[in-house]
Structure 1
Amino acid sequence: MPAPAMAERLRDLGAFQGVRANQLTGYGVVVGLPGTGDNNLEYLTQAMRGVSGRLGLPLPPGVEPGLKNAAAVIITAELPAFAKPGQRIDITVSTIGKAKSLRGGALVLSPLYGADGQIYAMAQGSLAVGGLDVSGNDGSKLTVNVPTVGRIADGATVERNVATGFASEGTLRFNLHNADFLTARRLRDAINRRFTGSASIIDGVTLAIAMPYGADARSMMMAELEMIEVQPAQTAARVIVNSRTGTVVINQAVRLSPAAISHGRLVVRIEEDPLIVQPAPFANGQTALEPSSTLSAEEYGDRINLMAGGASLSEVVDALNTLGVGASDLVVILDALKQAGALQAEMVIL
């Protein structure tokens, strides 16, 4: 039986162009560590000189600060769409030197930059670290999770908003997460039934939607658009194989042409049971080792299964389970079916 049709909301199928998050990155110093910080690295020394200088306490020339209680870090954050100055965002702090742990540390005030080189947020606060690192005098060491990465909830304050042109353009583009012309057509028809003549297809991913001017009217229309339900087109037949873990995922569009499958495993056993031969008492012989080998060969799973044309996903799985194949053997069988022309699907190897 075919799978029942499922309608998806427009907001789950794609996103409006320009209405997106932006990545921020910064460089900072974490202080207050219990001796788990960096060594006297040059970039950390320069950073500490900059921090002390901003506080009006410049270090004398030639004085190298003890930095085992500090660590140089990279700060990353995601600036949400329409974020305004004064709002707070979460940040992630990661070491870039030889620091062993950030547990107990505090991030000194650091700027966060966007891709255009402008400062969009300022970060500061105490870190929450989910891992730990301990060591003994004999060199033994225990590490739990990753103690060199921490997070600060609401650790950065937005200082600049990103101009999106949200309310100034006559049309707004909607991009599908996955390119599909049939889904784009269905989406266009659903939008035009609600707002006559407002949507048109640009390509298999993008639709252009005519919008009213003004943020208030445009926001109301976008709120209604996001809740429109559309039945997406069935995805292309695809088999995903992770050769490292032996994971195989087959979607419901996979079908098979008529094929016969025989999967057998040949097991050869070689058992060595050497005998120790000792000379008789008072003899002049020497103790010797006499080889003794036993060879055997057995073949398992030599059955042949016939798969009718147009077999569905459930039938494919049932037939392969009947053969008693494991994940690694399944990869070989699927690849052989594709080479034989019986499997009409895209093989994706991870």
Structure 2
Amino acid sequence: MRFVRQLLILLAAIAVTAPAQAERIKDIGAFQGLRANQLTGYGIVVGLAGTGDDSLDYATQGLKGVTSRFGLTLPPGVNPAVKNAAAVMITAELPPFAKPGQRLDVTVSAMGKAKSLRGGTLIMSPLRGADGQIYAMAQGNLAVGGLGIEAADGSNVSVNIPSAGRIPGGASVEREVEAGFATTPHLMFNLADADLTTARRVAQAIDSAMGGGTAQAIDAVSIRIQAAPGAETRTALMSIIENLSVEPAAAPARVIVNARTGTVVINGQVRIAPAAVSHGKLTVSVTERPQVVQPEPFSRGQTAMEQRSSIDVQEEARPMFAFAPGASLGEIVKAVNAIGATPSDLVAILEALKQAGAMKAELVVL
């Protein structure tokens, strides 16, 4: 307990002296092992108003399995009409340290041709983890945000997705996942974004607070932390470490281009070497003016259509502009706005600067 009190006092001192521009370690990464686990299950939704799967074999077999739990055995070769039921997949996320009895939100999605799950009830279904073990049981009434209506003539109206829904608190945890952090030889902290400089700064911040040699940056993502065994001791230590402040390294110079939407994002680390840019706009317009030609009176000619076309070429005169050495993001935006460049024009300019070696930044096209 004495060690825990010392850790809490140190935590309070660090919170008071944290630099204004720094970020908490907990905001740039997480301890290894403290993660959520995905759960998946298969089930049957009943109580639908004729919008179920009708004759889907999965739903038929599922209903037979449900009825068999209550001692009801259907005769061989008899398939129940399941238009009021649907086979569904169930997904949920098991958070770290979840204990038996806690509730989880679940998402339910139709597998077959069910038109809507509105008004349905999920029958008790097990949720399994990647190891095949059952970690939760799901059941409850669905909340469906979508709406689908079909008329007798085949016309239909659909709002959002009526074939999927959620059950808030629809699953109960049945088994706890052991995190294992209390018995490992050491703690491991992993950064969300790989960066050698940030990893070194995190290790230095931990050493400054806990003593030299406590943390070692072993690569661009992982920092190994020496810690005494025991869940209580390590929980207190991890609480202090994740609230330490560190100044992350500046992000690499990067230009992101979304080719589908025309969105261009330039981060503040992009710099331009001395370069001159001239960007013009060429417009070619073709105008068709067909004219009706009538034959001479009392002649045997026929009325005909005479094509008359005109082609006009215009090129806007836009002056060349120059980037000074080390031009910043604000100067780039100001120069591009001065010539009235569109997003597609900006992409062309940035690509040309990259090819000319004047922009030392990564160009990412989505």
Q: Where on the TM-score scale, by shorter chain, does this alignment land: which range?
A: over 0.9
Q: 2:80 aligns with which of 65, 73, 93?
A: 65
- Name the SS for the 1:157 alignment partner: strand
- CA shift, 1:266, in A, is 0.8
Are the aligned partners of 1:301 and 1:323 in contact in 2 as well (CA < 8 Å)? no
Match of 2:149 in 1: 134
- CA shift, 1:247, in A, is 1.2
- CA shift, 1:282, in A, is 4.7
Match of 2:255 in 1: 239
Match of 2:3 in 1: none
Match of 1:277 in 2: 293
**In 2: Cα distance, 1:91 partner to 1:165 partner:** 26
TM-score, reference length from structure 1? 0.96
**CA shift digits 1:96-126 (9 cap, x unpaired):** 1111111111111000000000000000001
**CA shift digits 1:38-71 (9 cap, x unpaired):** 1311122111110111122121111111111111
Are the aligned partners of 1:40 and 1:66 in contact in 2 as well (CA < 8 Å)? yes
Match of 1:52 in 2: 67
Count of residue correspondences: 347
Match of 2:219 in 1: 203
- Name the SS for the 2:127 alignment partner: strand
**In 2: Cα distance, 1:136 partner to 1:278 partner:** 55
Describe the shift of the 1:266–1:76 C-alpha distance in structure 2 as closer, same or farther (beyond 3 A). Answer: same
Are the aligned partners of 1:5 and 1:231 in contact in 2 as well (CA < 8 Å)? no
Letter in 2 for 1:186: R
**In 2: Cα distance, 1:129 partner to 1:43 partner:** 22
**CA shift digits 1:275-297 (9 cap, x unpaired):** 11223555432111111111100
- CA shift, 1:5, in A, is 8.3
Aligned 1:1-350 pairs, distance under 5 A: 6-197=21-212, 198-280=214-296, 282-300=298-316, 302-350=318-366
**In 2: Cα distance, 1:246 partner to 1:238 partner:** 16
**In 2: Cα distance, 1:188 partner to 1:312 partner:** 32
- Name the SS for the 1:252 alignment partner: coil
Describe the shift of the 1:247–1:175 C-alpha distance in structure 2 as closer, same or farther (beyond 3 A). Answer: same
**CA shift digits 1:282-340 (9 cap, x unpaired):** 54321111111111000125321111110111111111111211112211211111011
- CA shift, 1:27, in A, is 0.6
Describe the shift of the 1:259–1:5 C-alpha distance in structure 2 as closer, same or farther (beyond 3 A). Answer: farther
Give the alignment's Cα RMSD to 1 decimal.
1.4
**In 1: Cα distance, 2:353 partner to 2:30 partner:** 38
Letter in 1 for 2:340: G
**In 1: Cα distance, 2:20 partner to 2:354 partner:** 28
TM-score, reference length from structure 2? 0.92
Letter in 2 for 1:68: K
Are the aligned partners of 1:112 and 1:120 in contact in 2 as well (CA < 8 Å)? yes
**In 2: Cα distance, 1:172 partner to 1:324 partner:** 54
**In 2: Cα distance, 1:143 partner to 1:123 partner:** 28
Identity %: 59
Q: Which runs of 5+ in 2 are unaligned?
A: 1-18
Match of 2:4 in 1: none
